[in-house]
Amino acid sequence: MPDGVFTLAVLTPEERLVDTPARSVELRSSDGELTVLDGHTPLVTDVVPGEVKVEPEEGDPVRLAVHGGFLQVETGPGLEPENGGDAAAAPSPGARSTRVTLLAGVAELADQIDVPRAERAREEATVRVDELRAATGRSGAPGEAAEAPATAEELELTQAEAALHRAELRLSIAGAD
């Protein structure tokens, strides 16, 4: 790999969404914003729901909606891409390379998000959240302390709010919000 370039794979249980040489990947973990570049310190961290931006070695930036997962950064001598590599192109002695793997339960490329479906999901979730907030007496006001759900209705409200957040994230990444 050229200097400043590392291998990146974004994987879900269903498919390998991204498998490319990259110059950077930006995402959010529970510790805050994170940008990974070639030579990054080895790391394993969580990925919170949000946008992941990839700057590939060539071509346009890639944007993904990721609904949580884990990131592993490996840096060491002669790391090969996960899908194999050219054994004849052995690294020079002392050469270090970086491999980044993002494992996500659910992730979508921005240009593959079904916007009408996400809009319907947002509308349905909004209605359900409003119904459940009225039934539980929770206002959902900003800054309201989120306590562990104590009743089935509160649990259902928490799940409906998560569905609303997922739909809004998908629409935001697709540029349709």
- What is the tens place of the pLDDT at every residue in 61-70? 999 999 999 9
75, 97 contact by CB (below 8 A): yes
Q: What is the DSSP string of 23-62?
A: EEEEEEETTEEEEEETTPPPEEEEE-SEEEEEEESSSS-E
Which of residues 176 and 50 earns the better pLDDT score? Answer: 50
Does the pLDDT of residue 91 top 70, yes or no? no
What is the per-residue pLDDT across 33-61, written as a single tens digit (0 to 9) for each?
Answer: 999 999 999 999 999 999 999 999 999 99
34, 48 contact by CB (below 8 A): no
140 band by pLDDT with thresholds 50, 70 and 90? low
Full set of structural domains in the chain with CATH: 6-111 (2.60.15.10), 114-174 (no CATH)
The token pair that represents 95 in the structure block: 């050469």
The token pair that represents 104 in the structure block: 């996500």
164-to-92, 125, 126 alpha-carbon distances in Å: 50, 5, 6
Q: What is the pairing mode between strands 43-47 and 69-77? A: antiparallel
126-to-55, 101, 159, 160, 174 alpha-carbon distances in Å: 34, 34, 12, 8, 19
The token pair that represents 46 in the structure block: 């969580």
143 band by pLDDT with thresholds 50, 70 and 90? very low
